[in-house]
Amino acid sequence: MALFTIQNEFRYDIVRKIFEGGMGVVYEAEQRGTRDFVKRVAIKVVRPNYASQKTFIDNFIGEAKLVADLIHTNIVQTYHLGEANGVYFISMELIRGVNLEQFGQQLSDKRRLLPRELAIFITSRVARGLAYAHAKTDKDGKPMGIVHRDVSFKNVMIAFEGDVKLTDFGIAKAKGFLTDQEGEVVAGKADYMSPEQANFQITDKRSDIFSAGVVLGHLLLGKNIFKGQTADESRQRVMNMEIPDFRKLDERIDDPLNEILQRCLTRDLNQRYSCADELMTALEYYIYKGGYGPTNETLGKFIRELFGQMVPAAALGPVRGGTELIETTARVAARA
């Protein structure tokens, strides 16, 4: 029983659009409270045409409840689930930075090569976030069985301070939170899927380790080796393509690093890293075994120089997307 209940109002004033996806829009907003309190947050809003679809809304709510207690430095934190005029929204930690897709594009545009140690450092932080999520238990101490299932360039963010954040648990698998049609439908980005995910099989935490390996390979090579012309071609490559000897693709990749990649990307689940902690340990040993290696500050300095501390124009934009969406989100009042 609660000792007491606090009721107050949150008001969110939309500042600008950060990202627009097929089913939702993410805005930067100002959360306003009593005595001129202001906090900058990100607001994830359901598109109006999905607001009436019960399964989608149930999963949107399930995502918010799932990540509410995922409090970790390498996971974007969720603050609040709200509803206004029939539109659901999630208030989240605002990351001043870019996702890996924007990061990779900037590297390509400026013809810069990401240092090997920074590629490994970024992936090690993704592994840290995954290890925490995979081990999460409920209030009764029972494992929640979380599997992200969408570890990809779009869902890994780097803040200009150098923090690496895993985001978007929208298709995550967890007991009792989201409608799970695993084995019937395939969800996620095809070129980052594990073979078992691409083949409509049941997944566990080792699926996320394969995806983390794809991210690492992409960071090192500047390309995703599984990406095809279509999503179906990508899925087929994930399931059937021979995993290359990465030493032949980049001279910076030595035997130990090639072994890490091979263990991440093996289709034999018994040979893959058994947990994200094991992958994290291997990556961190690789970059720190000499006594010194990259830090958040090292990565922050690199990304600030790369972008000049400016969010790329593609990530910004005026608040658009239909009058209905603007009217229901531009000034949201929600009761806690």
- Do 221 and 303 lie in one domain? The reply is yes
Total number of domains constituting the chain: 2
- Does residue 198 share a domain with residue 115? yes
H/E run at residue 84: strand 78-84
Indicate whether 58 and 153 sit together in one domain. Answer: no
CATH of the domain at 42: 3.30.200.20
Please state, in angstroms and rounded to a whole number, the distance separating the CA atoms of residues 283 and 265. 15
Check whether residue 214 and residue 269 sit in a common domain.
yes
pLDDT in tens, 282-333: 999 999 998 889 999 999 999 999 998 766 544 444 443 332 333 333 344 4
- The answer to the question of residue 2 being in a domain is no
Residue 75: CB atoms within 10 A of its CB come to: 22
Residues 59 and 146 in one domain: no
- Are 228 and 279 in the same domain? yes
| Alpha-carbon gap, residue 222 to 238, rounded angstroms | 18
Instruction: For residues 20 and 147, give the distance between their C-alpha atoms in angstroms, rounded to a whole number.
Output: 24
152 close to 99: Cβ distance less than 8 angstroms: no
Residue 280 belongs to some domain of the structure = yes
Regarding whether 274 and 158 lie in a shared domain, the answer is yes
Say if residue 101 is in the same domain as residue 243.
yes
Range of the domain at 50: 9-95+315-335
Specify whether 204 is catalytic: no
Looking at the fold, whether 188 and 280 belong to one and the same domain comes out as yes
Same domain for 301 and 238? yes
Taking only the tens of pLDDT, the chain with its 336 residues reads 556 544 456 688 888 888 776 677 889 999 888 888 889 999 988 777 777 777 777 777 877 787 888 899 999 998 888 887 778 888 989 999 999 999 999 999 999 999 999 999 999 999 999 999 999 888 888 888 888 888 999 999 999 999 999 988 766 655 555 555 544 445 668 999 999 999 988 888 999 999 999 999 999 999 999 999 999 999 999 999 999 999 999 999 999 999 999 999 999 999 999 999 999 999 999 999 988 899 999 999 999 999 987 665 444 444 433 323 333 333 444 433
329 falls within a domain: yes
In a domain, 1, yes or no: no
Residue 4 included in any domain: no
Judge if 252 and 288 occupy the same domain: yes
pLDDT digits (tens, 9 = 90+) for 129-148: 999 999 988 888 888 888 88
Q: Does 181 fall in a domain?
A: yes
CATH of the domain at 200: 1.10.510.10
Query: Are 95 and 159 contacting, i.e. CB atoms less than 8 angstroms apart?
Result: yes
Q: Answer yes or no: is 101 within a domain.
A: yes
d(CA 79, CA 67) in angstroms, rounded, equals: 9
Catalytic-role residue among 138, 140, 150, 180: 150
Domain for residue 3, yes or no? no
* Cα–Cα dist 90/67, whole Å: 11
Closest of 196, 157, 180, 190 to residue 74, by C-alpha? 157
Do 168 and 77 fall within a single domain?
no
Q: Which long-range contacts (CB under 8 A, 24 or more apart) does 133-139 make?
A: 133/70, 133/72, 133/75, 133/166, 133/169, 134/205, 134/208, 134/275, 134/276, 136/69, 136/70
